[in-house]
Structure 1
Amino acid sequence: MTPAVGTPLDRPVPPGRSAPPLPAGEAVLRRQRARESSARTYARSFPIVPVRAQGMTVEGADGRRYLDCLSGAGTLALGHNHPVVLEAVRRTLDSGAPLHVLDLATAEKDDFTTALFETLPPAFADRARIHFCGPAGTDAVEAALKLMQTATGRRGVLAFTGAYHGMTAGALAATGSTAVKEPLPSCGEVTRLPYPYSYRCPFGVGGERGAELSAVYTERLLDDPGGGVTAPAAMIVEAVQGEGGAVPAPDAWLREMRRITAERSVPLVLDEVQTGVGRTGAMWAVEHSGVVPDAMVLSKAIGGSLPLAVVVYREEYDGWLPGAHTGTFRGNTLAMAAGAATLRFVAAEGLARRAAEVGARMAARLTALRTELPAIGDVRGRGLMIGVELVDPEGVPDRCGALPPSPALAVRVRAACLARGLIVELGGRHDAVVRLLPPLTITDGQAEAVLDRLADAVAEASASAGTAAASAGTASADSREHA
C-alpha cells in the first residue's frame, strides 16, 4: 500500500545516513505522485505497480497477485495478453505493415471493418458507414453528435440522468454527473431526461411503472410547445449505464425511445463504448431490445485492448464534407489487427452467451447475499456488467423502499477487496456501487473467488462501520454524562 504522507519513506534522509531500501514499486509510485496530474483516478484507488498480467490475473511489483474485475474499464474483453490478441499484434509487426497511416486504406483496416460489420445487427449493418475517430470513446461521441447536427441542421441533444459519455466538451455536456460538470462552463444545449432506475426511481414508483412514466414524460415534453425543447439533433443513450452504476434500460423502454425518436425524425445514437463486444450477454447491448439505432458509438473492447474508437451510422446521415471530423491517431494499425482478432474470437467461441450465463449466476448469488449482508441494497446489471449498490442498513428508506446510499462504506469495501487480491471499482450516482467488469474469459473458479472475496470484504467493512458507529455513540453518551 502507498505510505501516508509523513511516514519515514516521505521524509528527507539526514546527512551522512543512507536511505532505507524502498519496497518493490514504491519508487515508481513516488514518482507518479510527484509528476502526474491531480486528475489521476485509478492510481489513487489501487496503489500497485503492475508488472505482469495474464487473463484475469495481475501481478504487482511486490509479487502480490490480483483478480482484475476492472478489465481496463471494460476494454479487456479477453483479459490481459490473450494469445489471440498477442498473435495478431506479432503477425502485424512481423509483416512490416505501417503502424500509423492517418485514414489511408490498409488491409488491416479493411479486415477490421469486415469483422466489425459481421457482428452488427444485420438490419443496421446492411446500410451502414463507419468513421474512424481519435482513439477514445469520448471523441467518437463528439463525432456522432457533430454528425447528427450536420445531418439535421439542429443543435440540441437529448440525454439522460446518470449518463456517462466522456470528458470532452460535447460528451461532457451529455454526461449526467454534476461533480465533473460543475467546475466547467456549459458545453452544449442538452435536455436531460429521466433514465429508468428501478431501485431509485426518479418518479418514486419503481419497476415497469417507472419506465412507463419515463417514456410518457419524454414524449409529452417533446410535444409540448411550452416545454422549452426545440427539435433536437439526436438522442444519445446507453442500453446499460456503466459509470452510472450498471443500470440496465428495460427493453420495452428502449423500444419506446426508438418509437418516440423515429416518429419525430430524431436520430437515435446508442453509446456502446462499454457495453459492446459481448459484455452484456449479446454482442451489442442494443440487440436485447431488437432496436435498430441510427448510429452506434464504439470503443474500448473493439481494439482488443489497444486504443480504437469508431462511429457506425446509417448511410443517409453521411453528410460530412472531407475533414469535417478528423484525428491524428485514427489509423492505429495494431489496434485494428487486435480488434479484428478479438471480435472474431468472441463470436466464434460464443463468449457473449457465456457472459450471460456466468453473469446470471454471479448476480443470483449476490442477490442471495442480501439476507446476510444488509449493506447490499441492490444487485443489477446485464451479463458481465454487474453493479452492487451499498447502503446504510440503519437509514430511513425512501418511498420506493431504497435505503440511503453509503459511499463511505463503498470506499472501505473497495480497499478490503484490494487487500484480498481483488480489483473492483466504484460508480453510480453516489459512488456507492461496486462495479464488476471481469473479462469474458472468466472461469467458473475465478467467478466463485470474486464472489467469496467481495462477500468477505462487504462483511468486514460493514462490521468496521458498525464498530465505529458504536464507538461514536459511546463517546457521545460519555460526553453527555460528563457535561
Structure 2
Amino acid sequence: MTLTVDTPAAASGAAILRRQRVRESAARTYARSFPIVPVRAGGMTVEGADGRRYLDCLSGAGTLALGHNHPVVLEAIRRTLDSGAPLHLLDLATAEKDDFTTTLLGSLPAAVADGSRVHFCGPAGTDAVEAALKLMQTATGRRGALAFTGAYHGMTAGALAVTGNVGVKSPLPSGGEVTRLPYPYAYRCPFGVGPQGAELSVAYVERLLDDPAGGVVPPAAMILEVVQGEGGVVPAPDGWLREMRRITAERGIPLIVDEVQTGVGRTGAMWAVEHSGIVPDAMVLSKAIGGSLPLAVVVYREEYDGWQPGAHTGTFRGNTLAMAAGAATLRYVAANGLAERAALLGAGMTARLGALKDRLPAVGDVRGRGLMLGLELVDPAAGPDSCGAHPADPALAARVRAACLQRGLIVELGGRHDAVLRLLPPLTITDEQVEAVLDRLADAIEASV
C-alpha cells in the first residue's frame, strides 16, 4: 500500500483545516476562532493559503514582540545554526545561555537584577509559575498562596490553582490551598464602587491577613499580574501595586509578579513593574523573551535559592535557538526604544478608541497600557450595575471578531465573559498599520452592532 500525503506547499487550506478537525483534540482554541491556514508571515502581516492577507493583532498571544520572522531574530537563528552549536544540552552552560542571561539581567531594573538568580524552566510560562510557587514553598516552608480574581497563570496544576477562571478549573481537583483576593477592576468593581475599589482592596487584603480569625494561614507567596491579560486587559493602579508590595514585605510574604505577557516592552516599559517601581521577590518570564521560540525562566532574589539539585527540572530547559533569538530581541527592543514607542502608540490608540466608545454605546470600556489594549463590549439596552457598567455581550464580541477577520484583522477575545476585544500588535507596528487596525476595528464593530 502506498501512502500519499500532500506536502505543505501542495496541500490546500481547506484540506488542512478538515484534517485538523478530525485529528486534533477538542481543546484547540485559536483554530476555532480563526479558520485560516497561514503559509507566510512577516512583521505584522500573515498570508493565508487562500492568498488573503491579515494584520495580526494577536502576535502569538504577545509572544512576537518584533512580529513574525523579524530579520534580527532570523539572523540570530541562522548564525547559531551555522555555528554548529548544540541545539539541546539540558541545563549545561553554553555561550548562548551566558549571552542570554547577561542580556536578560541587563534589561531588568537594577534593583531586581542585583543579587538575582535565573532558573530555566520547561519552555512554557505555566512551568515557570510552577517553579516560582515551589521555590517559595521551599524557602518559607509554607504551602498556600494568595492570588487574585481575574488572574491567569497557566494550565498546569499549581498555575491553574492560582488562576481565577472558574470555567477551566471546575472539572479538575484543587491544585492547592489558594486564598482569592479582589483585583482592582474599576469598570466591574468587586466592591461596586468603581475606581475607589482599589483602596478598598488594599484595606481588605491587609485586614484579612492580620485577622486571627480570617481563616488565612500564612502563605508561601502572593502572585499577581501588573496587567491582567486573559482576564480582560485590566491594568492595576501603580499605587495599589506599591501597597501590595508593602503588605507582603511587612508580613514576610514573598511577592511573585507574572510578567509572561507584559514583559519586553509590551506595556510601554521594558518590564511592567517599572511603572510602579516595585521590586518583587520573583518574576516569571516567558513568551517574548524567546524571540518567538519557546523559553521560560524565573528571576528571583538569591536568598530564596534553597533548592536542592534537581528540585525543579525538565528536559527542554536548554533551548539554544530560543536563547539566541531572545537575546537578540531584548537588545533590539532596548536599542530602538520600542518600549517608549509602545507607550506613545498605545496612548494614541487609546484616545482613538475612546472616541469610538463615545460614539458607540456597545463599547462599554477602553483600557490597557502600552500596546496591550482591550475594548469591553456590552449590551447598552440592559440596565447598568451600581458602577454604571452594562452587562457584557459575548455574542456581539464573537460577531466583531468574525467581522474583523473578514476585514483582514486578527483580534482575539478575553475577559470574564469573553466579551473583551484584545489588541496585542507587535512593537514594530507602523503608523500606517495603526491606522489600518483602528479603521478595520471600528468598521467591524459598527457593522456588528
TM-score norm. by structure 2 comes to 0.97
CA distance in 2, matches of 1:212, 1:191: 19
**1:274 matched residue in structure 2:** 261
- Please show how residues 30-429 of structure 1 align to structure 2 within 5 Å: 30-207=18-195, 209-429=196-416
Alignment partners' CA distance in 2, 1:412 and 1:185: 34
For 1:176-204, what per-residue CA distance to the aligned partner results, in whole angstroms no more than 9, with x for missing partners? 00000001111110000000000000001
Amino acid at match of 1:232: P
Deviations 1:380-430 (A, max 9, x none): 000000000000010100000001100000000000000000000000011
How many residue pairs match? The answer is 440
The 2-side partners of 1:187 and 1:240 are apart by: 24
Cα distance between partner residues in 2 of 1:52 and 1:23: 14
**What SS is found at the alignment partner of 2:368?**
strand
Runs of 4+ in 1 over 3 A off after TM superposition: none
CA contact (8 A) 1:276 1:284 kept: yes
Whole-Å Cα distance in 2 between the matches of residues 242 and 285 of structure 1?
12
- Indicate the RMSD between aligned Cα atoms, in angstroms: 0.8
Task: Give 1:10-21 correspondences, 5 Å limit.
Answer: none
Q: Distance in 2 between matches of 1:157 and 1:399?
A: 31
3-state secondary structure, aligned to 1:325? coil
AA aligned opposite 1:257: M
Instruction: Give 1:370 deviation, angstroms.
Output: 1.3
Deviations 1:416-456 (A, max 9, x none): 00000000000001110000000000001101100101101
Paired letter, 1:128: S
Distance in 2, matches of 1:73 and 1:457, equals 21
Q: CA deviation at 1:24?
A: 3.7
| SS of structure 2 residue aligned to 1:235 | strand
Distance 2:139 2:116 in 1: 15
1:174-231 per-position Cα deviation (integer Å, ceiling 9, x unaligned): 0000000001111110000000000000001111x21000010000000111111000
Q: How many Å separate the matches in 2 of 1:370 and 1:320?
A: 51
Per-residue deviation, 1:118: 0.5
Residue deviations 1:105-132 (CA, integer Å, cap 9, x gap): 0000000000000010101101100000
Deviations 1:131-174 (A, max 9, x none): 00000000000000000000000000000000000000000000
Q: Give me the whole-angstrom Cα distance separating, in 1, the residues matched to 2:395 and 2:447.
A: 14
Structure 2 alignment gaps of length 5 or more: 1-9
Conservation of the 8 A alpha-carbon contact between 1:246 and 1:380 = yes
- In structure 1, what is the Cα distance between the partners aligned to 2:114 and 2:238? 23
Give the Cα–Cα distance (whole angstroms) in 2 for the partners of residues 113 and 37 of structure 1. 36
1:33, CA displacement in angstroms? Answer: 0.4
Query: Structure 2 CA distance, aligned partners of 1:206 and 1:288?
Result: 22
CA contact (8 A) 1:66 1:422 kept: yes
State the 1:23 CA deviation: 9.7
User: Which residue identity does 1:170 align to in structure 2?
Assistant: G
Q: Is the 8 A contact 1:53 1:80 kept in 2?
A: yes
> Any conservation in 2 of the 1:280–1:385 contact (CA below 8 Å)?
yes
- Find the aligned partners of 2:299 and 2:324 in 1 and give their Cα distance: 18
> Matches of 2:314 and 2:255 in 1, distance apart?
24
Partner SS state of residue 361, structure 1: helix
What's the CA shift string for 1:278-323, capped at 9, x where partnerless?
A: 0000000011000000000000000000000000000000000000
Secondary structure in 2 aligned to 1:378? Answer: strand
Q: Where does the alignment leave 5 or more consecutive residues of structure 1 unmatched?
A: 1-21, 463-483
Cα displacement (A) at 1:371: 2.1
3-state secondary structure, aligned to 2:332:
helix
Q: What's the CA shift string for 1:48-68, capped at 9, x where partnerless?
A: 000000000000000000000
3-state SS, counterpart of residue 459 of structure 1: helix
Contact 1:23–1:62 (Cα < 8 Å) also in 2: no
Q: Tell me the amino acid that sits aligned with residue 122 of structure 2.
A: G
Distance 1:53 1:248 in 2: 30
Name the amino acid aligned to 1:378.
D
The one-letter code matched in structure 1 to 2:206 is E
Please tell me the residue identity of whatever aligns with 2:13. G
Q: Give the 5 Å matches for 1:445-460.
A: 445-460=432-447
For residues 11 and 399 of structure 2, the distance between their equivalents in structure 1, rounded to whole angstroms, comes to 24
**In structure 2, how many angstroms separate the alpha carbons of the residues matched to 1:196 and 1:100?**
43
Partner of 2:7: none
Partner residue of 1:441 out of 416, 428, 435: 428
